[in-house]
Structure 1
C-alpha cells in the first residue's frame, strides 16, 4: 500500500471537506472535463519513464484511479470525461528525476552529457564508477545506452554536482590519467560543464551554449541597460550575459538573488559567471566581484578603507 506524504494528506482532506460543505448546501455537482488532454499528458509522462502507479502515489490519487482513463474497464473503452480536480492536478504536474522510481528507464542524454563533461575535466569513467559503487563494465554499458535507469541518472547527477569544477588529482586520479582523459574527450568533441545549463542539460533537444542560436531581441538599443532600469524588454543571449556580468561584478546580490532575477537556477548562474571570467581571462582581462558588503556586521573605518 502506498504511503501518502503529509502534504498529500492535507490536500486530500481539504478537497474532501470542500466537497462535504458543498453537498450540505446542495451546491455540489461533480464537474467533469474532456479526458483526452489528461490522457495525452499521462501518456507523455509514461513515455518519459513515470509508471502509472508511481504517478498515482505521487499525486495522492487512489490506486487504479487512472485505469479507466487510459484503458477503459468492464468492456468499455477509455472514458471521454474525467473528474475536474484530479485532471487539474495531473495537468499541472511533470515528474522530476527525483519523482521517478529507481528502475524507471529514461532518456540517457543528460547522463551522457554529465559523464562527458566530467571527462573533459579529467575524470575517467573508471573513477566515476568507483566513486558511485558501480562495476566498471556495468557503468560503461549503462551510460552508453539510449535509456538509463533513474537510479543511475540520479547517481551521475549528484556526482556531477560534486565534481564539475573539482581537480581529478585530488580525488585519486593520477595526473597522467587525467591528462589522457582530457585529451581523449577533446578528440571526441565532448563539451565541458560550462557549456550546459542545469535547467536544460537533461533535455534531449538542448544544444551546448557554444552552438545555441541567440533569440530575437526586442527593437531598440541598450536593452541590457534598459532591463537593469526595470523596463520590460526581451534580452538576447549576449545581453543576458551582459546583465548577469553586471549583477555579479557591480552589485552585492547573492548568487541566488541574481539567479532569481534572471529566472535561472543558482548553479546555472554561477557557471555562466565562470564562463564570463574564463572568456575575460582569455582576452587578457580580469573579472571579479568589485562590490562587496559585509552582511553580518557594520564595517569599521579600517575595513571600509580595505574594501575600497
Structure 2
C-alpha cells in the first residue's frame, strides 16, 4: 500500500522517537491494558458508545474489541500499545461528540433551562423552539438521563437567549414575570452565575453573586459605566470592564467586584480566563500593571530615586 507524504513523515517521527527511547533504555511499546479498559468503561457509562469513540479517535474498531471484549474466544488483552493507551486515556467526550440517541448526564441541560427560566423563558417556550412536545420536554428535566440531541438543542438555545428579553421573542409579560418568580422561589442560578467551561460538570457550583443580565439601551455602555453613569452591563460588557480596570487601574479584584456586584475571586477568575482565551487565540495577553500614586512618594524617596 502506498503511503502518503504525511503518513511517511509520521512514521519517520515515530521511528526516530523509538530509536531515541531505546538508546535511553526507556522504550515501552506496550503498557497494561486494565487502566485503559477502565477509562473506556467510564466513557461508555457517560453515554459514548465504543464504536463512536473509535471513530472520534480515528482508531480501528477491532482494536477496541480486542481491548474491551477480546476476540476469537480469547479474553480481553492484557497489554495495549502505548500510543493507543495515551490517546484513549487523554480523551473525554464533549457534548458535540455524542451520537444523537446517546443518553447522557442531564446536569448541564437542566442548568441551562433553569438559567433561562430566571430570565423569564418558560419550559414550554424552550420546548416549542426545539420542536418537542412540552410534556415530553418536562419529563426530560426530571429523568436520570437526557438524549444528546435534546442536550445540544438546549445548549444552542441557551447560547442564543442567555442575555435576551423574553418579551422580544413574543413571550407575554405576565408569563415571563410568572416564570421569573417561580425560578426565584426555586433558587435557580442565572446565566451569569455559570462558567461556560464548567456548566456541564456536576461538581461545579454557581457564582451566585452574579446578577441577572439587565438590558440597557444606547451605545458605549462600558465607557458610560466607567465614567460613573448608572447602566446595566451584559456579560460581554462586564468582562470588558474587568479587563480595563485590572490592566489600567490600581483597584483590587475586591474593589472591582464591589462596583460590578461580584466577589473578588469571581473577578480574578474572569481575568485569568480572559488571559487564557487571548493566549489560545494568539492575541496579545493583557497584563496587570502596578501604579504608585504620586502623593505616596515623599521627598526622601524622590531624592533616593534621583
How many residues get paired? 225
Name the CA shift for 1:228/1:10 in 2 (closer, same or farther; >3 Å).
farther
Q: Residues 171-190 of structure 1, C-alpha deviation per residue, up to 9 Å, x if partnerless?
A: 11000000011111111222
Return the match for 2:105 from 99, 103, 107: 107
**Structure 1 range deviating more: 180-189 or 161-170:** 180-189
Q: Map 1:46-195 to 2 at 5 A.
A: 46-195=44-193
Q: Distance in 1 between matches of 2:136 and 2:161?
A: 21
How far does the alpha carbon of each residue in 1:97-121 deviate from its partner, in whole angstroms, 9 at most, with x for none? Answer: 0011111111101101111111111
Report the more deviating stretch, 66-75 or 53-62: 66-75
Q: Deviations over 1:244-286 (max 9, x none)?
A: 78x6xxxxxxxxxx734256999xxxxxxxxxxxxxxxxxxxx
**What displacement does 1:46 show?**
0.8
Secondary structure of 1:144's partner?
A: coil
Q: Which runs of 5+ in 2 are unaligned?
A: 210-245, 249-253, 255-261, 281-306
Match for residue 208 of structure 1 among 200, 206, 209: 206
Cα deviation code 1:197-233 (max 9, x no counterpart): 111111112222239xxxxxxxxxxxxxxx979xxxx
**Deviation digits for residues 44-101 of structure 1, max 9, x if unmatched?**
1111111100000011111232111111222222111001111111112111100111
State which structure, 1 or 2, has the greater radius of gyration over its C-alpha atoms: 2
Q: Gaps (5+ residues) in structure 1?
A: 1-8, 212-226, 230-234, 248-257, 267-308
Q: 1:22 to 1:134 in 2, by over 3 A?
A: same
Q: Which moved more, 1:133-142 or 1:102-111?
A: 133-142
Distance 1:95 1:11, change over 3 A: farther
1:40 maps to which of 30, 38, 41: 38
Secondary structure class of the residue paired with 2:52: helix
Q: CA deviation at 1:144?
A: 2.2
TM-score of the two chains, using structure 2 as the length reference: 0.64
* Secondary structure class of the residue paired with 2:146: strand
Q: What SS is found at the alignment partner of 1:33?
A: strand
- Contact residue 53 and residue 64 of structure 1 kept, 8 A: no
Preserved CA contact (<8 Å) 2:189 2:208? no
Separation of aligned partners in 1, 2:49 and 2:82: 22
Larger displacement relative to structure 2 (110-119 or 189-198): 189-198
